Amino acid sequence: MRVVAIAVALMPVLIGVADAREDMLAELLAPWPDTHASPHGTPHTHAFNVEPAYLHRGLRVDYLIDTNVGGDIDEQELGFELEWALTKRLGLCIEAPLIGLNPVAEQNVTGFGDMAVAGRVLLVDRHCFLLSANVELETPTGDAERGLGRGEAAFSPTVLCWMDLGHWTVFQGQLGPETGLDSGETELLYRFALTRTWQGPVKFPCRCRSRSEHGHHDHNDHGHHGPGLTTLYLETVGDTNLSDRQEGTRLDMTTGIGYYLTEKLELRTGLRFPLCHPKRFDSQFIFSAVRCF
């Protein structure tokens, strides 16, 4: 009788799992809905350091200035990240950095760093919660001898989550290992972001296109973000070396603000700084632009 009671109690859960699986299979190749907000109208905001669980189409350009990297190098990076939703459940991400190194006692070095390609699958799609699997392969395109790359390919499967906390406040997370394919060295990556968004003043009203004329949605619908949308970012980035415990844990924090100049263009700035030793750098200044398609 106890077994029967347990089976009856678990039946709704099993039915829910089966229904979710059927929904995912049915939507695996369905067209991507051109949406930049949840069904409740909460904007999808792309964190500085956390890959989003939602699928979208956009280009992000980051200009990073790192001071005192490794104790004797100032570094500048111009990073490009293209995210493209292929279907309602499948997405692709391509990253390519251009790096400039300014050592204290040596000549400056400039060149492309390691490129990365990632596939993303949206596993759970609910109004207030999203869960995705992200599989990234980093290729050794950067010259390791000149300090522009790690010198080996790296594989990183991570889990991404997006949680609507209400009032346009969102929690985002990313967790998983990163392994060098030649060395076998493995790090555990964990990244978390808390964002708060509100409708700010529209600085360029002439750029705002009428919804009635062009068919676009305002910030309360599910289309592109409305001009003037403003977001505060608070993020924590950490990694722990699982292969060599003497390397310890590195933990950084990022604070920033973003503003939608138009319904498809967000301009952002941020500051990243270490919270503990060993440190990656003394500070990192971030200037970023996100173009939604």
Instruction: Say whether pLDDT at 219 is over 50.
Output: no
SS (H, E, C) 157-210: EEEEEEEEEECCEEEEEEEEEEEECCCCCEEEEEEEEEEEEEECCCCCHHHCCC
Percentage with pLDDT > 70 across the chain:
84
- Distance, CA of 36 to CA of 262 (rounded, Å): 14
User: Domains of the chain: which residue ranges?
Assistant: 1-30, 31-292
The mean per-residue pLDDT over the stretch 124-131 comes to 94
- Distance, CA of 262 to CA of 291 (rounded, Å): 10
- Distance, CA of 156 to CA of 188 (rounded, Å): 9
| Residue recorded with tokens 């596939």 | 119
Q: Are 188 and 250 in contact (CB under 8 A)?
A: no
- Distance, CA of 147 to CA of 119 (rounded, Å): 27
- Distance, CA of 35 to CA of 56 (rounded, Å): 8
DSSP state of 43: B
End-to-end CA distance of the chain: 57
The mean per-residue pLDDT over the stretch 252-263 comes to 95
18 or 288: which leads in pLDDT: 288
**What is 31-292's CATH topology?**
Porin (2.40.160)
The pTM score is 0.84
DSSP state of 224: S
Joined tokens for residue 251: 């933990």
Cβ-count burial 206-224 (b if 16+ within 10 Å, e if not): eeeeeeeeeebbebeeebb
Joined tokens for residue 116: 């990365």
Beta-sheet pairing, 115-125 with 129-139: antiparallel
- The pLDDT assigned to 60 comes to 97
- Distance, CA of 149 to CA of 284 (rounded, Å): 19
DSSP state of 40: T
Tell me: the pLDDT tens digits for 33-69?
Answer: 988 899 889 999 999 999 999 999 999 999 999 998 8
Joined tokens for residue 147: 């300090």
Q: Are 253 and 236 in contact (CB under 8 A)?
A: yes
- The pLDDT assigned to 224 comes to 62
Tell me: the pLDDT tens digits for 153-180?
Answer: 999 999 999 999 999 999 999 999 999 9
Question: Measured at the alpha carbon of residue 20, what is the angle toward residues 14 and 24, in degrees to the nearest 5?
Answer: 145
| Residue recorded with tokens 């390919």 | 153
Number of other CB atoms surrounding residue 178 within 10 Å: 18
